């Protein structure tokens, strides 16, 4: 299913709340992608390398406080991140969109779909939990005081529970992966905006509890989990899926980054969402 990559356009978009750095590519129904807690397009943007832009008008952005997006004053909450997403749809004159959230973006997506259900045509959540009594994600704010090499090792070990066995089986390859992660951590922290905004984002993340809101999410929903993910544990993701009235639960054989590690998760969404869109168009 892989096809020729589509060139993305990128630039700042002023919303009613703040200015966000936005990347957009593709054609078709609107798909808003909400990325993880360390989103910085200068380092990577996996969604644009997937097949989603071949089928959708994919829109994503650097969250408040990170990279080139604004960092408003005050204490931020998950509601702020959800309202930022809705504000971007307003600024782009998009009434409704398919919404895909990964990790921290999945938490944001849950709040967005609950607080503004009329803006979400269908929802997909990768590697995220509901928080509260249903179980939360690993407290990655605990890694903030660590030097990059230790933070990188902690991240690798938690995000894929197979990493210790991988180290034992292939120390050289594991060391190379560790070195790559150290470089990634170092580059991310080198940005003054990230250094200041990331702890504030993680404080909002630490307060994530969408349990009381889940009954408001009635759109078609796909909840996706990685079998070996210790950051968004499989059992907690399963409880999230069980609490949603219209949720399909899918498990993939990967760690926290399973969503774009292989084509299967994206292809599942393409099949489900293009079919849904075509049926809606036919009956409109």
- Statement: residue 3 has pLDDT above 60: no
pLDDT digits (tens, 9 = 90+) for 92-151: 999 999 999 999 999 999 999 999 999 999 999 999 999 999 999 999 999 999 998 999
Domain 9-138+208-283, classified CATH 3.30.420.40, yes or no:
no
What's the pLDDT at 5?
A: 64
- Cβ(42)–Cβ(66) below 8 Å: no
For residue 113, which phi and psi values (nearest 5 degrees)? Answer: -65, -30
What's the pLDDT at 6?
A: 77
pLDDT digits (tens, 9 = 90+) for 219-259: 999 999 999 999 999 999 999 999 998 899 999 999 999 99
pTM: 0.95
What's the pLDDT at 284?
A: 58
pLDDT digits (tens, 9 = 90+) for 261-271: 999 999 999 99
Provide the token pair at 250. Answer: 């899918």
- Statement: residue 277 has pLDDT above 90: no
Torsion of CA 185, 187, 192, 196, to 10 degrees: -10
What's the pLDDT at 245?
A: 82
- 97-102 and 57-62 as β-strands: parallel, antiparallel, unpaired? unpaired
Question: What is the distance between the alpha carbons of residues 21 and 45, in angstroms, rounded to a whole number?
Answer: 13
Q: CB-based burial of residue 147 (10 Å sphere; 0-12 exposed, 13-18 middle, 19+ buried)? A: exposed
What's the pLDDT at 4?
A: 59
pLDDT digits (tens, 9 = 90+) for 172-198: 999 999 999 999 999 999 999 999 999
pLDDT digits (tens, 9 = 90+) for 55-99: 999 999 999 999 999 999 999 999 999 999 999 999 999 999 999
What's the pLDDT at 2?
A: 45
- Cβ(94)–Cβ(64) below 8 Å: no
Query: What are the extents of the domains in the chain?
Result: 9-138+208-283
């Amino acid at each position: 299913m892989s096809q020729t990559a589509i060139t993305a356009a990128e630039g700042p978009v002023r919303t009613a709340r703040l200015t966000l750095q936005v990347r957009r590519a593709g054609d078709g129904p609107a798909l808003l992608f909400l990325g993880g807690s360390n989103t910085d397009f200068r380092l990577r943007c996996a969604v644009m390398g997937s097949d989603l832009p071949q089928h959708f008008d994919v829109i994503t952005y650097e969250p408040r406080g990170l990279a080139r997006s604004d960092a408003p004053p005050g204490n931020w909450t998950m509601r702020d991140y959800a309202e930022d997403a809705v504000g971007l749809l307003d600024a782009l004159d998009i009434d409704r969109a398919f919404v895909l959230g990964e990790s921290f973006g999945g938490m944001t997506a849950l709040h967005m779909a609950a607080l503004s259900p009329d803006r979400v045509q269908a929802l997909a959540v990768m590697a995220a939990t509901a928080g509260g009594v249903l179980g939360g994600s690993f407290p990655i704010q605990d890694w903030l005081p660590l030097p990059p090499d230790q933070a990188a090792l902690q991240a690798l070990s938690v995000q894929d529970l197979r990493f210790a066995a991988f180290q034992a089986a292939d120390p050289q390859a594991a060391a190379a992966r560790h070195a790559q992660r150290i470089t990634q951590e170092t580059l991310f922290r080198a940005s003054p905006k990230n250094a200041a905004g990331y702890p504030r984002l993680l404080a909002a993340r630490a307060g994530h509890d969408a349990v009381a809101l889940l009954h408001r999410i009635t759109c078609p929903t796909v909840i996706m989990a990685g079998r070996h993910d210790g950051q968004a544990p499989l059992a907690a993701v399963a409880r999230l899926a069980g609490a949603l009235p219209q949720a399909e639960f899918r498990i993939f054989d990967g760690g926290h980054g399973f969503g774009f590690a292989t084509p299967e998760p994206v292809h599942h969404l393409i099949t489900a969402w293009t079919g849904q869109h075509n049926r809606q168009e036919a009956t409109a």
